[in-house]
């Protein structure tokens, strides 16, 4: 009998995180919705679940800071990624007339930001409220008269809501990248990506010294972002993604060179490029 993995994700049921988890794992699994991104990390760290799925960046709104902050502290490894097209819809309970303006619109902060222009045009006078997830927003819309939610079609199905406006995101190519977390990394496939966290001394030219080894070795960087280190004021860490696996000779050489020009390098994981599995 095939073992079912326990897979945690940002809940409740009906989030894009659930959709990402179902897209990544083939077949039936034991999916466990949790209240926060921190809870997803904790569940895998404590071995309550085998894998966790969390959003890390959106093509419109950029990085999910909560996930990045958790990556700074965690001992977990990124073992996979999945990119999900994001289609937002405005939905209401079936007892609310479709042509009546809602009294309140609720959704996750990132979802609201991704629909900002549409909301300003269609409902400029309706109050907006942030909630923990778009599925939580759908849950509230199903329970409270006059509340409309911005969420995906899966949430509308689960919470039995009617969609009154479809595909309301401001950018048609809106998508979100999700990370798959586990207590161990992935083996090299030949088409891999590695994510690292780089701490630098607060000195002039620090970024140049980090980038120089990538240029010399011909390693392609796909992302570089900064976050406050939270250790000292005005010190930053760099989140970097690049092509290659940590076991590749060229990447081993890269790490050797980075040791001479950084305070610390933390390997967050090496894993197959999305779409190459």
Confirm whether 6-85+174-182 and 89-165 share one CATH topology.
Answer: yes
Share of the chain above pLDDT 90, in %: 73
Q: How far apart are CA 12 and CA 133, in angstroms?
A: 8
Q: How far apart are CA 131 and CA 174, in angstroms?
A: 20
Question: pLDDT tens, 258-275?
Answer: 988 877 899 999 999 987
Helices first, then strands: H and E counts in the chain: 9, 15
In the chain, domain spans: 6-85+174-182, 89-165, 192-272
Share of the chain above pLDDT 70, in %: 96
Residue 104 contacts residue 127 (beta carbons within 8 Å): yes
pLDDT for 1 equals: 46
Mean pLDDT, the chain, rounded, equals 91
Nearest to 36 by CA among 104, 135, 111, 177: 135
Is the pLDDT reported for residue 231 higher than 80? no
pLDDT for 203 equals: 74
Q: How far apart are CA 132 and CA 244, in angstroms?
A: 35
74-83, 114-123, 202-211, 229-238: segment of lowest average pLDDT: 229-238
pLDDT tier, 276 (very low <50, low <70, confident <90, very high otherwise): low
Q: CB 68: neighbour CB atoms within 10 A? A: 17
CATH T-level assignment (fold) for domain 89-165: D-Maltodextrin-Binding Protein; domain 2 (3.40.190)
Residue 265 contacts residue 258 (beta carbons within 8 Å): yes
Q: Which CATH class is domain 192-272?
A: alpha beta
174-183, 195-204, 246-255: segment of lowest average pLDDT: 195-204
Is the pLDDT reported for residue 216 higher than 50? yes
Question: pLDDT tens, 54-102?
Answer: 999 999 888 898 999 999 999 999 999 999 999 999 999 988 776 778 9
CATH superfamily of 6-85+174-182: Periplasmic binding protein-like II (3.40.190.10)
Tell me the pTM: 0.87
Nearest to 78 by CA among 109, 57, 108: 57
Q: How far apart are CA 50 and CA 261, in angstroms?
A: 36
């Amino acid at each position: 009998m095939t073992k079912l993995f326990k897979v945690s994700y940002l809940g409740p049921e009906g989030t894009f995180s659930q959709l990402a988890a179902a897209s990544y794992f083939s077949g039936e699994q034991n999916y466990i919705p949790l209240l926060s991104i921190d809870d997803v990390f904790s569940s895998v760290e404590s071995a309550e679940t085998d894998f966790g799925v969390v959003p890390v960046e959106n093509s419109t709104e950029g990085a999910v800071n909560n996930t990045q902050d958790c990556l700074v502290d965690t001992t977990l490894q990124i073992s996979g990624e999945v990119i999900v097209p994001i289609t937002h819809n405005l939905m209401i309970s079936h007892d609310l007339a479709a042509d009546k303006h809602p009294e309140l619109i609720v959704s996750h902060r990132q979802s609201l930001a991704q629909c900002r222009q549409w909301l300003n045009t269609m409902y400029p006078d309706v109050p907006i409220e942030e909630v923990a997830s778009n599925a939580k927003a759908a849950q509230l819309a199903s329970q409270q008269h006059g509340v409309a939610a911005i969420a995906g079609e899966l949430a509308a199905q689960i919470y039995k809501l009617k969609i009154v406006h479809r595909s309301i995101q401001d950018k048609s190519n809106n998508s979100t990248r999700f990370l798959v977390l586990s207590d161990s990394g992935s083996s090299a496939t030949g088409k891999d990506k590695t994510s690292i966290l780089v701490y630098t001394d607060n000195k002039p030219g620090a970024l140049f010294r980090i980038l120089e080894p990538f240029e010399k070795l011909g390693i392609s960087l796909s992302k570089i972002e900064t976050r406050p280190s939270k250790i000292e004021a005005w010190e930053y860490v760099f989140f970097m993604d690049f092509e290659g696996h940590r076991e590749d000779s060229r990447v081993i050489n890269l790490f050797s060179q980075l040791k001479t020009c950084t305070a610390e390098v933390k390997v967050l994981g090496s894993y197959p490029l999305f779409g190459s599995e």
